[in-house]
Every structure is written in C-alpha cells, then in structure tokens.
Amino acid sequence: MEKSLFKAKWFWLLLILGVFVRIATAIFNYGYLALDDYYILFFSIPAQSASLSFIDPVSSVPEIRSLLPDLLIRCAAKVAYQLGFTDPLDQIRAVFVTLGIFSSITLFVGYRYLSFLFDSESKDARKSGYETWIPLTGLFLLSLHFLMPFVSTRALIESMSAPFLLSSAYYASRYWISGKDTDIVWSVLWCSVSALFRFQSGICVLPLAGMVIYKSIKHKNIRQSAVLIASGVFAFFLTGLPDLIFRGSFHSSLIAYLKYNLSHSSEYGTSPWFAYVPSVLGASLFPFLIGKYTDFRWKSTYSGLFPALSYALVFLFFHSCVPHKEERFLLPIFPILLVLAAPLFAYWWDKRKSVLDPRIVSFFVLNFLLLGFLSFFTIQNNVIGLVRYLNRNSDVQDVYVYKDSVPHLPVSYAYRSPLRTLEPVTEMDENHLPKISNFDPYDACSTAFVVRKDYFLNGVDPEMPWRLEAEFASSPLEEFVVSLNPTKNGRRSSIYLFRFDDCGATVGRGKSRISGPIR
C-alpha cells in the first residue's frame, strides 16, 4: 500500500508539472519552429480577418496534406476569438495551449504503457531494482524532457501525430504479450489516426503486420491475420472518407503526397543516410547513458518493448532512405524514443550513490537549462518582434529590408491595414544611406529600414537622418546557434529597425505593393 501511494504521489506530481510546463511554454514562447507550422497559422489567424473569411478552408490546405491538422488549428483560433481574444498573439497562444493540452495524451499513454510492462501486480515477485523506477522515469521524460514542452505546443503535423503513434505502439505491445485480437484493432486504428496528421507515420503498420503474421504462423491462428486485414481495410476506408467528401477523390491527399515526394523530395536539399543518427543521440542526451550496465536485464526489459523498438527502427530506416531530411520529421516517434530510453535512465537513477551523484546532477542541470531556454524564450523572436512593432505602429507604411535580413514576415502575429511597400535594398549609397529608388525624404515619416545584426556589425549602419528605433533580439539559444554557424543560421540573428528622423508633412498614399499584406 505504501509503495502504491508513493507511486501515485509522483505520478500526479509529474503529470501536473508536464501539463503546467506545456501551458507555460505556449504562453511565454509564442514562436514557431519551421515555416510548415507557421503556414497553418497563416490560414487560421487572425480569426477575425476579413481576408480569411473569403478563403475556402479546403482549397487553402495543400493537396499533399490532410485536412485534419488545419481544421484543428482553425477551430482553436475561432473559439479563442469568440471568447474575446482579439489580439492575434493571444489567439496563437490559445492555439498553442490547446495543442499542449492535446499532447498530454502522451503522458497518460506513456505511463500506462510502461506500467503495463513493469508495474503489474503479477510481476512484483520478480521485479526489483531499476525496473520499479521505469514507469515514473518514462513519465518524467515525457513531461519534462527539454524538447517535449516546446515541440508539443507548436502547430506541427509531426508533433500532432505523435500521441496516436505512441498509442499504436502501446497496443502493439499488449498484443505482443497477450495475443488479444482487440489489441490488433486498436493498434491499427491509432496508427491510422496518426497517419491522418503525418502520412509517414503509417509506415509503422508494417512492423505491426509482421508481428501479427509471425504469431499467426507460430500459433497456427489464421484468425488474427484476418483481424489485421479487416481492421486495416476498415481504417484505410475510414481515413480516406474526408478526401472523398471534401475533395471528391478517395485518399487524394495521400496519392498527391506520394507523387510529389517521389518527384520533388531532393529539390529541398539532400542529406546522407546517417543524418538522423546525431539528432537521435543529441535529443536523448546520449552521453549520460554511457556506462557499464553490469546487472541490466536486457532481454527481459526490452522484450515487451520490442514493438516500440520495431516502430522506431522501421520509421528511421524509411526516413533515412528519403533524400531530404529535417530533424522535425522525427517528431512522430520522439515519445516512443523516450519510452525506449526510460529503462536506461531508470537504471542510472537506481544506481546513484547519493543525491549529488555527478551523472544525475549534470543531467538535470543540462536538461532544465535547455528546457528553460526552449520554453520561456520566443523562437523566431526577431521577425515576430518586427511584426508586433508594425502592429503597434500603424503609421509605418513603407518597409525597406536590407538584402535577406527578413526572409519573410509572419503576418499572422498582427492585425492592421496592409503595408504600402515591402521592398529589398541591395546596397548603400556614397553617403552611407540606404539606396532606395525614388525615395522622397519629405514623405518619409512612414518609412522604416530593417537590417540584420550581422550586416549591421559589418558596417550597414545608416547615418543621420536615419535613427535606430528598435532592436528585435533573438532568443539566447538562437544566438548561440548563430555563433556556431553564422552562414546557415544568419536568418535567426537580431534585427535592427531604423526610422527617418527628419521628415516633412505626409502626402497622398499610393497603391499597396506588398505581396503578402499584414492583416
């Protein structure tokens, strides 16, 4: 009884902390990880935008993508607006909070998964040492691993698919141990739901099929293979209905996705087949797992986790075969990787010699330091800060950007009338002023000039009458990334905005030349 109360106390503490940190991350870090997750926000926020009301919610979603992720984000934004959140930034925060709570499914499923394998009453007699810590260790990793709160609260189709893929792996393990038909059905269905968010997740049905076929042959039970086929056909039909209803063709998005990637995947850059290995090792904080596992029971510990291991390996194998690779593509299996790492972390926790064990202390220090940087400092704050400035200063109508200082404006973070001008400036004149064609200094009160930090430090510092008005600083973590590779990560540098200090009365305004209006 005392042991159960101890576990219950820590379960609720870690669960509450996991949800709390996700909500805090959604509020304090309102940035976006990649253009793909911002793209969903672009067609959903501001919810009150007149231009968005004219956009067809089906045609606005690329044909190679499922409709479900965009529908979820759009609904969250609409509800936030109906509740009185008129500022686009508050709507984005509401979306991220929704996704954070949504992602908390992984906490329940992950803990239940590991408890099923290592915490059932029938196993108490032979369970000792590190195995008793595995469920709580897994819950800690799923709750407070430095990456989880951030990636779980972004509008990424990869992270939205992760809870369901973990659920599929959980039921696959139940089937692997108990052999029940219903576990096959649930595993197939959850894998299908995961694939609705990220099509690549569906590849994990292959190891499940392999397990079912293996057991069917071994136990001469053809019925389970029939259950697999029937549930697979049902799931395939069910997940194809949205495309059939709204796009007029069965699984049209999946077909378009396969055709597009076969033809264009390498156009976005290629990486070697082993490119994901450093990402997996880095995310797992692998150095803290190095050591001699003297009494670690590898076979008994990982036999029940074989389905999760097979999911991860098959997913990594097929993704490694694709020429174009990005770290975010691994997010669907990231909770599964943490579940697989839980026994190893539990082993070293059980083997600690004191509260101040160097391995444990250094792990916690690094993990929580990275957690703080990712959770409480806004990613992409440079361009978001610029857009928020334009949102507050609607008198700025003409923005000139030095070269590639601002690759794009995340306009969903503002709600204002369109800019009249958004144009690049490629050089400075002999007086060290931005060389703007047809520039009228007597009509310059509405003008702003934007320069990235690396250009600014290399001499692009306009003389008077231009004055430095504002700096939009990058997060500390992004500044560190820029210092490691300025060429590749220069776009993450801080941004400086200059205003014209000596201007006359404003005159009439012309037609807007901005290609993407700030709504």
CB 306 within 8 A of CB 176: yes
Q: What angle do CA 176, 348, 137 make, to 5 degrees?
A: 55
Confidence of residue 504 (pLDDT cuts 50, 70, 90): very low
**pTM for the whole structure:** 0.90
Tell me the two tokens of residue 284.
């797992």
Cα separation, 148 vs 138, whole angstroms: 12
Q: What angle do CA 51, 55, 60 make, to 5 degrees?
A: 130
Confidence of residue 8 (pLDDT cuts 50, 70, 90): confident
Cα separation, 401 vs 385, whole angstroms: 15
Query: Is 10's pLDDT higher than 50?
Result: yes
Beta strands in 426-517 (DSSP E): 447-452, 466-472, 495-500
101-148: per-residue pLDDT in tens? 999 999 999 999 999 999 754 454 445 689 999 999 999 999 999 999
Report the percent of the chain where pLDDT is more than 90: 67
157-186: per-residue pLDDT in tens? 999 999 999 999 999 999 999 999 999 999
CA dihedral 273, 276, 281, 285 (to 10 degrees): 170
Cα-based distances in Å from 18 to 94, 111, 141, 372, 486: 18, 12, 9, 14, 34
